[in-house]
Amino acid sequence: MRKFMVANPKGGCGKSTLAIHMASWFAQHDEIVYLGDLDRQQSSRHWLDARPSNLAPIRHWEISEDEVLLPPKNCNFAILDTPAGLHGKRLKEALNSVDKVVVPVSSSRFDMLATREFFEELAATKAVRKERVDIGIVGMRVDVRTHAYGQLLEFLKEFDLPVVTCIAQSQRYLQAADTGVTLFDKDANSVAIDTQWRPLLNWLIRRH
């Protein structure tokens, strides 16, 4: 079983977008996939409810607030979406139950500053210090040909964290959120998937 979580304390930076796409990718490859959400608002749950039943199934990983974060036993891939503001005890618990953490970061100055404290908290966590979990950064709404990308790299140098990939801005992610249908459900062979998503998907399945 492989367990991933998507986290960044800033709202709107693309956590749920990444989580639903990761889930749908593995589901399309006939894996048993569970998608869980620590957010009280249960945005991933609502997204799953909207997902057409003829598409590759993604199961709901039911998590109650005070529960230990154990993924369902029969699953191949468990993906944990998390709320804005995740920190402290709940963050530690989540880190103890996954193998990899994906952190979406935009190139906005404000987002980068908001993420700094989170990186510091991550670095101080036992699971990270002992290298039990890997952390990978995804530049979200970032075009690698722009100056903004350079600024993001410059900011991340300080933390010695890898930028696994960058996902460009696209209307299609807004549609995916509304319809329950991801880019992978629509066209798994598109160029954007190969250049932007493939490095992340490869990083996720790589054993550390």
Binding site for ligand ADP (CB under 6 A): 11-17, 140-141, 167, 169-170, 173-174, 177
Nearest residue (CB) to ligand ADP, 42 versus 151 = 42
How many CA atoms lie less than 13 Å away from 52 in the CB half-sphere?
9
Question: Is residue 76 within 8 Å of 26, Cβ to Cβ?
Answer: yes
Tokens of 8: 């960044």
Return the one option of ligand ADP, Mg ion, none that residue 57 interacts with (CB less than 5 to 8 A, by type). none
Q: Give 104's contacts (C-beta < 8 A, 6+ positions apart).
A: 6, 8, 13, 14, 15, 17, 18, 137, 138, 139, 140, 167
Return the one option of Mg ion, ligand ADP, none that residue 100 interacts with (CB less than 5 to 8 A, by type). none
Closest contact distance (angstroms) between CB of 194 and ligand ADP is: 16
Nearest residue (CB) to ligand ADP, 71 versus 104 = 104
Closest contact distance (angstroms) between CB of 16 and Mg ion is: 3
Closest contact distance (angstroms) between CB of 78 and ligand ADP is: 18
Return the one option of ligand ADP, Mg ion, none that residue 14 interacts with (CB less than 5 to 8 A, by type). ligand ADP
List residues binding Mg ion (CB under 5 A).
15-16, 43
Strand partners, 34: 59, 78
Nearest residue (CB) to ligand ADP, 78 versus 167 = 167
| Vertex 133 angle, CA 127 and 136, to 5° | 130
d(CA 49, CA 39): 16
Closest contact distance (angstroms) between CB of 201 and ligand ADP is: 16
Instruction: Estimate the crossing angle of helix 109-123 against helix 147-157, to 10 degrees.
Output: 30
Q: Give 147's contacts (C-beta < 8 A, 6+ positions apart).
A: none
Closest contact distance (angstroms) between CB of 37 and Mg ion is: 8
Nearest residue (CB) to Mg ion, 15 versus 141 = 15
Return the one option of ligand ADP, Mg ion, none that residue 21 interacts with (CB less than 5 to 8 A, by type). none
